[in-house]
Each structure stands twice: as structure tokens, then as C-alpha cells.
Structure 1
Amino acid sequence: MAGIYLHIPFCKQACHYCDFHFSTNTDRIEEMIQMMAKEANLRKDFLGNETVETIYFGGGTPSLLEPKWIDYLLQKLDSIFPTNLKEITLEANPDDLTVERLQSWKSMGVDRLSLGIQSFDNRLLNYYNRAHTAQESKDAIKKARSAGFSKFSMDLIYGFPAKDHSIWKKDLSLAFEQNPGHLSCYALTVEPRTALGAWEKKGEFIQADEDFVAEQFEILQEESEKHGYRQYEISNFAPEGKEALHNTNYWRGIPYLGLGPGAHSFDGSMRTANIRNNALYIKQVQAGTFRSEREDLAQEDILNEYILTSLRTVWGLDLDYLQTRFGKNLKQEKASRLQQLEEAGWLLWSGNTLSLSKSGKLLADSIASTLFYESP
């Protein structure tokens, strides 16, 4: 099995926290979409003969596109790759959800919407420079359900510096009130090449301290559990059986092809990254000289990545798989470190599978890194 990710590199405006590749100049949308289809053809052998089961339109803002371009890309992919599609996700902002677009997306096979809500508070939305309002956030799922959609995810941001947790608690309350079936929640991160990064450098923005952010993470865990949403990955919550198939495959090491400027790909032993420049990307693909930055992964890299990603999920780190696939006996070779982590209350055992406790999830990446293997 395999997945395809399409990076649509256009937005109405720049969100103040966003470091993803995008442009607010939409003059070359048609040309870009055609070049993404051409890239798919140029790289049709990347996935071998694996059947494509998931497609994910991300960005940027895919919901900006005229529906005909979503349909165009889906038709092209179907003609190039063997497919048995189980999920087609499209990231959408609430202000783009017109009846016409929703009906068009549904008719062409899009069956899951990932909604960029971020907050239900107008003050925060304005501060983040989001294009939608709190009311549009509240109306988003209702409008999409009316068009026949039943599978959703909501993106929310926590960790904004405030005097208390009231905004975050209200955001969660409103989200669960609509029962989207899936939440993706991320701590506010300040990246250098963003407005927030520039403000922080000038002393005009001060991040919330680690304890405040950790408290909001714990509130998220508690509220999700109350509403029957399982934390199946550090940032992702859903009732059992409603997990995102495409994203889950990332964490399980399933190959995927990324199309478009700034997109990443993985074939099981190699990663590639496309150039983060719209004009240069178009020029390269037009000329047939398209090249991705390539990283060949050593066995230890693949092993450590499995440790990192598996510990982030509810399914945990399978020590039997580790032994069979990599010839590593982690229980024996990392015994001292495992004992320290277990005594700290950060690890849980289920048979021969290792997972993180609630408190351990606060430190997921740092815990995983202490279990990494070094190259010989």
C-alpha cells in the first residue's frame, strides 16, 4: 500500500505562525496544477507497483482551488498509479466552504475534510491573521454535513500566552460540541521566518512558558478522554476506528509520494524533498529536469525513526518487530535506560510492546531519542 500527498502552495494571506511553503500570488495556479500532474508522471516509478490507498491534498490552502483542478489531479493520479482508494482528504478553511465547492468535492470522491479551525476566538483568529471568523468556524461542519460529508478533522492550536486557560477550554468545548470525529492539536511554535518570529526577535511577542503549554496539553488529554477521543498519536485524537488513514500510514512507515513544491516523499529507504520555490519548481518540471533533494537512509536511521514514530502512537513500539526487522534486542541492550524511564512513570508495557504514559507523552521525542542506536 502507499499514499500520495499533494502540496497546494497557495494561500489568501500569510498566517502569522506558519512556516510551510506557500505563496499569496495565485497568478500561476493553472500552470502549477498542470506541472504537479506532470511531476506525478515523471515520478510514476517512485512507489514501485504499490497500490495507492490514500490521497491527501495539503498546503497551503487546497480549498482555494477551483473544484475542476482537484478533479483534474484526481483523474491524472488514477491514470498513472494503481489505486484502491480508501480515503481522500482535502484541507479546507472555513471561509472557503461554499455549497457549490462542497458538493463538487463530494461528487469527485473527496470523502474527508481537514478543517483549519485553529480557534473559535475572534481575537486569536485576528492575531494569527486567519481569514475566517469564529462564526464560520462554528458553521463549518454543519455546512459540510449538509453537503453529505461525514468524515472530518479539526485543527486547533494551543499554547497561546494568556492569563489563564479559559480560551483553550472554550475552544475544546466548542470543538467537542460539534463532534467532528477527529482532532489534530498543535502547540503554538514560533518559527524564525514568520511574523511571530520577527515579533519575538523585536521583543513584541513572548511565548508561553513550558509549564503553561504542558498544562494545556494535559487539559487536551483529559477533555479528549471524557468525550471518547483516544490519543492515538501525540497530536491526534479520535474515537477508535476513526483515525486518519493517510497520517497513520506516515507513522507506520508506509511509502508515500509527495507532489508539488516543498513536498516530501518516502519509499521505505530514501527520503526526497522538492524545492520550496514555485517558479523554479515549474521551470524544472516543464524542462523535464525535475530533481528532488535526496537522503538515503542508513539502517540505523530507519530503526531510530521506527522507535520515534511508534512511541508517538497508541500502538507503541513492538519489540518483537524490532528484533525480527532490525536484529535488535532493545529490552536487553537498553535495559538500564528502560528501567529509568519506567521508574519515572513515563513508560507502559503491554506484553512485548512499549508505549508512553500520559506524562510520558509530554516528553515523547526526548524519551525516544534516549533509546536511539548509533551508527557503527
Structure 2
Amino acid sequence: MAGIYVHIPFCKVKCHYCDFHFSIQQHNLNQLVEAIEIELVSRKDYLDNESVKTIYFGGGTPSILEPKLIEGLLNRIYQNYFVEEDCEITLECNPDDLSEEKLFSLKSLGVNRLSVGVQSFDNQILKFMNRAHSKQQAIQSIERAMACGISNITIDLIYGVPNTTIKSWEKELYQMLNLGVPHLSAYCLTIEPNTVFGNWHKTGKLEPLADQISLDQFQYLMEFMSLNGYEQYEISNFAKPEKISKHNSAYWKGDKYLGVGPSAHSYNQIERGWNIANNPRYIKNIHNEEAIYTAEKLSTQDRFNDYVLTRLRTKWGLVQHEMEEISAKDAEKAVKILKGYIQSGEVLLKDDLFLLTNKGKYRADGISADLFAD
């Protein structure tokens, strides 16, 4: 089974922390959606006729699109791919886009999961990040979605924000809990170079939060979510029973997926590739039948490292015999290193799974790098 990711590279405003590919100029929005429809048809063989179990509209801000455009994209998918009846169809959205009329339209099109970019329930923080919505709009959008019958909702929240405390982070989490949101993606603020925050940091206008306070907020997050019945199935993702993201889980488990739209990535277990990250060039090349996609064939080393990087972050962990099936030599080295991390309390061996402990989750990227094939 496979997934399809549709990248919609448009936003109303540029958030101060964001370094994703998008544009706030929407004059060619219709032409770009038309080009994505053409790509969906031209690349229909990429997934080798595997059934599609998840469709994910990401961005950017897909909720900018009128429902008619979303309908056109879904029609292209249904016409050219075998889509399972219980397919999870997720749309990323901003709170200020979710009117009652739009929500009912999305539901009628088959959208059954919303990923709402809340980021914070604090108006000062939202203003600091240059978000387009308010706390009240965020709360109302979630309540409105549930009233319209879309209860499978995830929200994003950001911790590690300058001048925040454990107390202010606790307040954010309680607001999420009180709304009955069944899934949370929580990310530590990263100051990326080519962003407003990156420029502020470079010129001394922004002082990042101390690492220890960010770690304390992460520790509190894990404890809070566990106490309130959420499972941490990936380092940044927490879900109530039966509400785990099928789409993102497929990424971490190494399932095939096709990504369409500018800058979208694809993976079919043989190669991985990426589309050009330029909207006008993408549209032009699609219509001229010129290349939009660059691919690289995966070596044994690539496949081993991908497995380690994605699986170690999750509750599914590293399985010794699965590592050995990719590369016995690299698996042997990795197991020796993992035993050292067991001694330090950062990795746990449970049945045949190597899993990160809460202590190890602080250093997930570093541990993964130590395990990589040379």
C-alpha cells in the first residue's frame, strides 16, 4: 500500500520561523493546481499499481484552495489510482480558513482528517511568529470542525519559544486537552538561517531560549501527554488510541509514496527524488513536458541509514533481523553501538526491538548518526 502527497506552495503571509518552499504571490495558483493534475496523470505508474491508503494535502497552506480545486485534484487521483475505501485524506489548514461552509464542503469531498496549524494559543506568541490567526480563531476553528463532523484532528504546537516557561507551555497543553484534540504534533522552535528569525538572531535582535529550558519543556510534554492518555508513537507526535496518522506512519515505516507539486519528495523503495522548488518553472516544465523531477537510486548504505533514521524515532523501533536483511555488516556494527546506549540508559531492548528511552529521545539525531553505515 502507498500514499500520495500533494504540495500546495502558497501562504497568505510568511511566518517568521518558516523555511519551507512556498509563495505569498497567488496570481498563478490556478495554473499551478492544473499542473499538479497533469503530474498526477503522468506519474501514475510510479507506485507500481499499489493501492493508495493515504492522501495528504500539505504546504504551504492547502486550505487556501477553494473546494472546487481540491475536488479536481481528488478526481485526478481517483481516476488514475486505486484508492482504498477507508483512505485517510488529510488537509493541512490554518484556523482563519475554516469557515463552516468550507468545512462542510471539505467533508463532502471526502476529507476526513484535518491538520490545523495552531502553533500557539497565546496571542503574543502568534504575533511574534507572524501568524495570520488569533487564539480565539484557533479555538473556534477546532470546535467548528468537530461540530461539522470532522473529529479526526491534529494540531501543531511549538515549544522552545524565546521568553516562555514551563508554566506557559503547560497552559498551551491544557488548552489543547480541553478542546478534545485527539492528536498533537509538537515541535521545538528551530532558528533556520534563511528566515526572519534567522536574520534577527544573526543581528542580535533574537536570543533563542536556553537549551535546558527547551529540554525541560520537552520532558514536561512527554509526561503530560502520557498522563492524559496519549501515546508518543514518534518523537514529535502523540495520539489517542486509533488516531495515529496513517500517512506519516507510512513515511517512518518505509512505505512507498508519490509527492506531486513544486519541491515535493517521492520514494518507492528503489529511489528517492524531488521536484524542482520553483513555481513558474514547475508550471512551464509541466506544459512543455520537460523534467521536473530529480532522482537518485538508493544504495545499500542509503537504505540502511534511512531505516535507522526513520524507525529509531518511533514506537516501532529498530528490529535486528530487519537491519540484517538490509546489510548484515552494518547491522552488526549498529547492534554493538546500541548495546552501549542500553548501558547509558538511552536505549531499551524490548523483545526484539531497540527503542529510545525518554532520555535517549533528547539525543535521537546523534544516536542515529552513530549507527549509520560508513
TM-score tier (shorter):
over 0.9
The 2-side partners of 1:334 and 1:182 are apart by 32
Partner of 2:129: 128
Output the TM-score relative to the length of structure 1.
0.96
Are 1:98 and 2:99 counterparts? yes
- Residue 371 of structure 2 aligns to a residue in which SS? coil
CA contact (8 A) 1:3 1:255 kept: yes
The 1-side partners of 2:333 and 2:17 are apart by 41
Output the TM-score relative to the length of structure 2.
0.97
Partner of 2:321: 320
AA aligned opposite 1:194: T
- Residue 131 of structure 2 aligns to a residue in which SS? coil
Please list the CA deviations of residues 176-214 of structure 1 after superposition, one character each: whole Å capped at 9, or x if unmatched. Answer: 111211000111011111111111111111111221111
The 1-side partners of 2:33 and 2:204 are apart by 40
- CA apart distance, 1:240: 3.1
CA contact (8 A) 1:348 1:356 kept: yes
CA contact (8 A) 1:119 1:134 kept: yes
Please list the CA deviations of residues 101-122 of structure 1 after superposition, one character each: whole Å capped at 9, or x if unmatched. Answer: 1000000100000000000000
CA contact (8 A) 1:319 1:329 kept: no
The 1-side partners of 2:208 and 2:215 are apart by 13
- Residue 363 of structure 2 aligns to a residue in which SS? helix
Partner of 1:234: 235
Partner of 1:305: 306
The 2-side partners of 1:23 and 1:252 are apart by 31
CA contact (8 A) 1:13 1:131 kept: yes
- Residue 103 of structure 2 aligns to a residue in which SS? helix
CA contact (8 A) 2:285 2:291 kept: yes
- CA apart distance, 1:317: 0.7
Structure 1 alignment gaps of length 5 or more: none
Partner of 1:262: 263
Partner of 1:81: 81
Q: Count the aligned residue pairs.
A: 373
Please list the CA deviations of residues 223-266 of structure 1 after superposition, one character each: whole Å capped at 9, or x if unmatched. Answer: 10011111100110002321000000000000111111111111
Are 1:12 and 2:20 counterparts? no
In structure 2, do the counterparts of structure 1 residues 324 and 162 end up closer, same or farther at CA, with 3 Å as the change threshold?
Answer: same
- CA apart distance, 1:139: 1.4
Partner of 1:186: 187
The 2-side partners of 1:56 and 1:321 are apart by 28
The 1-side partners of 2:290 and 2:339 are apart by 52
Partner of 1:170: 171
What pairs with 1:358-369 in structure 2 (closer than 5 Å)?
Answer: 358-369=358-369
Runs of 4+ in structure 1 displaced over 6 angstroms?
none
Aligned-residue sequence identity (percent) comes to 44
- CA apart distance, 1:325: 4.3
The 2-side partners of 1:328 and 1:244 are apart by 33
Please list the CA deviations of residues 116-155 of structure 1 after superposition, one character each: whole Å capped at 9, or x if unmatched. Answer: 0000000000010101000111112210011111101010
- Residue 48 of structure 2 aligns to a residue in which SS? coil
Partner of 1:118: 119
The 2-side partners of 1:329 and 1:95 are apart by 49
- CA apart distance, 1:335: 5.0
What pairs with 1:33-48 in structure 2 (closer than 5 Å)?
Answer: 33-48=33-48
The 1-side partners of 2:273 and 2:335 are apart by 35
CA contact (8 A) 2:311 2:318 kept: yes
- CA apart distance, 1:39: 0.8
CA contact (8 A) 1:322 1:328 kept: no
In structure 2, do the counterparts of structure 1 residues 276 and 334 end up closer, same or farther at CA, with 3 Å as the change threshold?
Answer: closer
Structure 2 alignment gaps of length 5 or more: none
The 1-side partners of 2:352 and 2:165 are apart by 41
Partner of 2:197: 196
